[in-house]
Structure formats: structure tokens, C-alpha cells
Structure 1
């Protein structure tokens, strides 16, 4: 979720810079499901309520951003204001990815991050899906470094698109 005011060019010009260090590009895939191991079958899933909470919190912050989509020729006169809101759930535990190998066997690999397309429909929210990142505690430092790299590239793109010298 991004709100931008006074970008020096239309937002689509910046899209590729956001993809560069995204977990989806780094991992090369989007997660499609989640299973909690060693949970009693009669217990509710904890991941679902965590994802709903992250989506709702993100909506709250996004709704309280100033109105966006304005554009400027001179960011010195009309400074940029950008709000990045990333729904995030941090897992205190291990995270594994299961994939089907070409020989039909299931491969299990330990991972540190996964990005999900999480569908959540509610009469209170217009948006119907969210991209929620799930990160293990042991993967948090690298995840945050990647976010920093992403912000640096985005800032450089704003500078490059600006007309000031």
C-alpha cells in the first residue's frame, strides 16, 4: 500500500524500483497456502488471525495518509511525501516451503521469508486482497536490509526524475 504526493513523474515510472528488492523477486515466487504443523486439529489457526490483524492495521494507517496522486515538476518547491505500508507478520519459529519436484516428490526447504496474497473480504474494507509478508525472527535482519535497499533505490529514482540540479 503506497500513498504518494508530489512525485516528479507518474507513479508507474517507479514501479520497477519497488520490485527490485521485493521478497517476491528475491524468492521468485508468491506463497499460496499455509499450514501450522503440530497444532491440535481442534484448535483455530493462529496464522489467519495474525494476517487479518496485519491487514486491518495496514488499512487503518493507509486510510490516515494524506491524499495522494499529485505530481510536481519541482520537488524543492513541492516536497514529495511517500507512505509505504507493508503488512508484516513476524514468526517466532521455523518456516518451511513445500514444492513439488519434477519427479513428483515433495521437497521441503527451510526459508526465512514468504510473501502471500491474502484474500480478506469485509464490509468495512474495499480492498479484497493484501500482500502480506511473513518473516521469521532469524530472517528479520536480512528482510529489513532488503527494505532499506528498496527505499534507497526508490529515493534515487525520485532524485533522477526530478528537475533540480
Structure 2
């Protein structure tokens, strides 16, 4: 029985260490995961203890994500040109075909117009795409050209954040 107690304590300490590593918590422990596991483990088999320890680590990892984490980019489908209302390919997305000469008649899922609301873009086509500002129903002023399969994470760097009105393949 003493060997089982030592093994249970070792598993509980390992779980505690994993919780600390995942969360970066450096404070003193009091009634922490290892203590809880140690108390409950006395009534469980070794296999159940390992499962419980894994569940604690997984639970802490799931709920202990930093609040300042960047949202993940929203995937743009192949062969399309996508514009995003957020930087770094985040926020609402609108997926276009190869060209659209007037964003004013397109809307994000929220109902907001795509026109003059793009902060990042992703070209998933095999062609260079020109992005225009001040276009309305016509091709306006060229803001930038995006290479095939390329993206721009911040259109402010191009001087056209929240001002893109249309796009068209270069050379057509």
C-alpha cells in the first residue's frame, strides 16, 4: 500500500507541476490540484489517478489561456480573394471571386458594408490582384498590388486601411 501511496503522490505532484507550467503561476499552493488529487487518489486505482491528473491538466490548459492572446486568422478558401475588417486576417471576412469592381454592394455577415472597411486582405488565387480606393462603381486609385497567394496583415502600412473599394486582377 505504501508503494501505491508514493505513486499516487508522484502523479499528483506531476499534475501540479504541469498546472504551474501551463499557467505560469508561481504563488504558494493551498488546496491546489496536487492536494486534491492526493486526497481523492487514495480511493482510486492508479489508472484512474492518471486519467484524473490528465483531466486536471487539460482543464487548466483549456481555461487558462491568456486574455491577451491574438485571435486566430479566419481561413480564406482557395481560389478566392478575402478581405477582413480586422488586422492580421481576423474579424469578419468577406470572400470574393477574382474581381469585384464595387464593394458598396457587398456586406459582411453583420450587415455592415465591406466598402471602406477592410484592414487586412488575403489573395488565395494564382494571380496578382490590384486593390483600389475611392472607386465606388468604377476602378478607383490603385492602392497596392498583392502577389499570388499573398496577404497583407495591416492595410494601414499601405495607406489604405478602411478605404479599399474594389479589386481586379493585374494585367487584365
Query: TM-score range with shorter-chain normalisation?
Result: under 0.3
Max Rg structure: 2
Report 1 or 2 for greater relative contact order, CA contacts < 8 Å, sequence distance ≥ 6: 1
Q: Name the TM-score, length of structure 1 as normaliser.
A: 0.20
TM-score, normalisation: structure 2: 0.20
